[in-house]
């Protein structure tokens, strides 16, 4: 949860990000945490770091929530619209439970 709080903060604190990364081995839902860390890095304009984290997520088997968030994050990183063909098939059947608004407006959030 801390990773998502920091991912959607207007100005992420590096110390908090480091705390999440230090505890990463014992945390559950590793792909969700990697996605949150990718969003934090996107806020910090660390494009190569974002790309690396998204590649790590791609190597693992992720649930639809994570795959949906990865496409939104990758679209933001590449400066392109979301490609519906890259979304999980369940995304076309029902609205996802992913927090898509913060991913769409990265850098525009006010806390």
Q: What is the pLDDT of residue 104?
A: 45
Q: Where in the sequence is the domain holding 52, given as residue range(s)? A: 2-104
Q: What is the pLDDT of residue 28?
A: 86
Give domain status of residue 65, yes or no.
yes
**Calpha distance 78→67 (Å, rounded):** 16
**pLDDT winner (highest mean) among 2-6, 21-25, 88-92:** 21-25
Q: Evaluate whether 29 touches 63 at the Cβ level (below 8 Å).
A: no
Give domain status of residue 49, yes or no.
yes
Segment 18-34 shows an average pLDDT of: 85
pTM for the predicted model, two decimal places: 0.70
Segment 51-60 shows an average pLDDT of: 93
Does the pLDDT of residue 92 top 70, yes or no? no
**Calpha distance 82→104 (Å, rounded):** 10
Give domain status of residue 111, yes or no.
no
Segment 53-62 shows an average pLDDT of: 92
In degrees and rounded to multiples of 5, residue 45 shows phi and psi of: 60, 35
Give domain status of residue 8, yes or no.
yes
């Amino acid at each position: 949860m801390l990773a998502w709080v920091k991912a959607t903060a207007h100005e992420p604190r590096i110390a908090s990000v480091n705390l999440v990364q230090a505890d990463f081995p014992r945390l559950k839902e590793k792909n969700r945490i990697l996605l949150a860390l990718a969003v934090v890095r996107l806020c910090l304009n660390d494009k190569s770091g974002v790309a690396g984290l998204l590649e790590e997520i791609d190597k693992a088997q992720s649930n639809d929530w994570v795959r949906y968030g990865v496409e939104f994050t990758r679209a933001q990183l590449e400066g392109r619209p979301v490609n519906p063909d890259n979304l999980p098939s369940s995304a076309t059947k029902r609205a996802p439970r992913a927090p898509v608004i913060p991913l769409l407006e990265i850098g525009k959030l006010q806390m």
